[in-house]
Amino acid sequence: MNKNIYVIGALLVILFVASPSLQATARRDRSSARQTDYGYVVVRNSKYVVVVPHALDEANTELVGEKVAYSLGATLVVNNKYFKATNSRASSDPEHIEDFNELDWNGYSYEWDDRVEAMHDFYLDLDRSNRDTVVVFIHGMRDSYGMGADIGAGVKWYNGELLGTDEHPNSGSYTGCITADLSRVQQLANTLDRYTDRYCGMSTYIGGRYAAWDRNTGTQWFCGTDDESIQIELARTIRNNPSVAAKMVVRAVRSAYG
Ligand SMILES: [Zn+2]
């Protein structure tokens, strides 16, 4: 009898010690990342690519992105070396000022002459060879906008319809494409809305403030390709709990894209 208890005890110890927690697996996974001049890339094989352009400017977006990418089996591309001019370290480290979500569209193509080389590398690393990639950009916004999340896919509402820059009467000089299938975008937003509303009483919008319809927005890199790209802005309150934020995003993405 005693012997059996010892055996069971030993087995339990082996199980706990041997079975890596999700955290540990994610850490080991991270260590296999390819380091780059802008941060790192973890290549995985699902149809998803998760992008974190503002890790140093928007709290916890890197953590959220890591967790989302891990759950989706997604390739992860993180800029955690360059920051916006508004960042507190900009004056002491001006060489690392670069907004990785602000491209230079000249009306025909993207220009790189005035940009750091690492940013061009970052965008080249987003391009996958397999077709029909779904690229998810993770951003953070302040709570004071009153939105739990805001989905950017190159559209805003007008008279009950989601319209792109070519049709929306208030698109001004913006010329961005619609970067994702709109029924999927709505499905994603509806699912995310249920979670953000339940979690903090704040709704999820599509193009509420961040429509990502400026051709210079990172998601527009995929304009005219077979890939879909979506920008998800998450309120600070939600990012304060990266695990919860990641679960919300994963479920929302899955509900739309499977
Ligand atoms: Zn951002």
Please give the distance, rounded to the nearest whole angstrom, from the Cα atom of residue 80 to the centre of ligand 1.
12
Domain coverage including residue 2? 1-32
Is the same domain home to 1 and 95? Answer: no
Please give the distance, rounded to the nearest whole angstrom, from the Cα atom of residue 37 to the centre of ligand 1.
19
Please give the distance, rounded to the nearest whole angstrom, from the Cα atom of residue 220 to the centre of ligand 1.
14
Task: Specify the pTM.
Answer: 0.89
Per-residue pLDDT, averaged over 121-136, amounts to 88
Is the same domain home to 100 and 160? Answer: yes
Please give the distance, rounded to the nearest whole angstrom, from the Cα atom of residue 191 to the centre of ligand 1.
22
Please give the distance, rounded to the nearest whole angstrom, from the Cα atom of residue 24 to the centre of ligand 1.
28
Please give the distance, rounded to the nearest whole angstrom, from the Cα atom of residue 58 to the centre of ligand 1.
6
pLDDT of residue 132: 83
Is the same domain home to 227 and 101? Answer: yes
Is the same domain home to 57 and 25? Answer: no
Is the same domain home to 98 and 225? Answer: yes
Q: How confident is the model at residue 127 (pLDDT cuts 50, 70, 90)?
A: confident
pLDDT of residue 18: 45
Please give the distance, rounded to the nearest whole angstrom, from the Cα atom of residue 2 to the centre of ligand 1.
59
Is the same domain home to 28 and 142? Answer: no
pLDDT of residue 71: 97
pLDDT of residue 139: 98
Please give the distance, rounded to the nearest whole angstrom, from the Cα atom of residue 45 to the centre of ligand 1.
25
Tens digit of each residue's pLDDT (9 = 90 or more) over 169-189: 999 999 999 999 999 999 999
Tens digit of each residue's pLDDT (9 = 90 or more) over 18-71: 444 445 555 556 668 999 999 999 999 999 999 999 999 999 999 999 999 999
Task: State the total domains in the chain.
Answer: 2
CA 42 to CA 49: how far, in whole Å?
10
Is the same domain home to 102 and 164? Answer: yes
pLDDT of residue 209: 98
Determine what percent of the chain falls in helix, strand and coil, rounding each to the nearest 5: 40, 20, 40
CA 9 to CA 196: how far, in whole Å?
42
Q: Is 228 helix (H, G, I), strand (E, B) or coil?
A: strand
CATH number at residue 87: 3.40.630
Is the same domain home to 162 and 179? Answer: yes
Please give the distance, rounded to the nearest whole angstrom, from the Cα atom of residue 130 to the centre of ligand 1.
26
Please give the distance, rounded to the nearest whole angstrom, from the Cα atom of residue 69 to the centre of ligand 1.
17
Q: How confident is the model at residue 93 (pLDDT cuts 50, 70, 90)?
A: very high
Is the same domain home to 94 and 189? Answer: yes
Length of the chain: 258
Is the same domain home to 49 and 124? Answer: yes
Please give the distance, rounded to the nearest whole angstrom, from the Cα atom of residue 66 to the centre of ligand 1.
16
Is the same domain home to 116 and 23? Answer: no
Is the same domain home to 116 and 220? Answer: yes
CA 201 to CA 193: how far, in whole Å?
10
Please give the distance, rounded to the nearest whole angstrom, from the Cα atom of residue 139 to the centre of ligand 1.
4
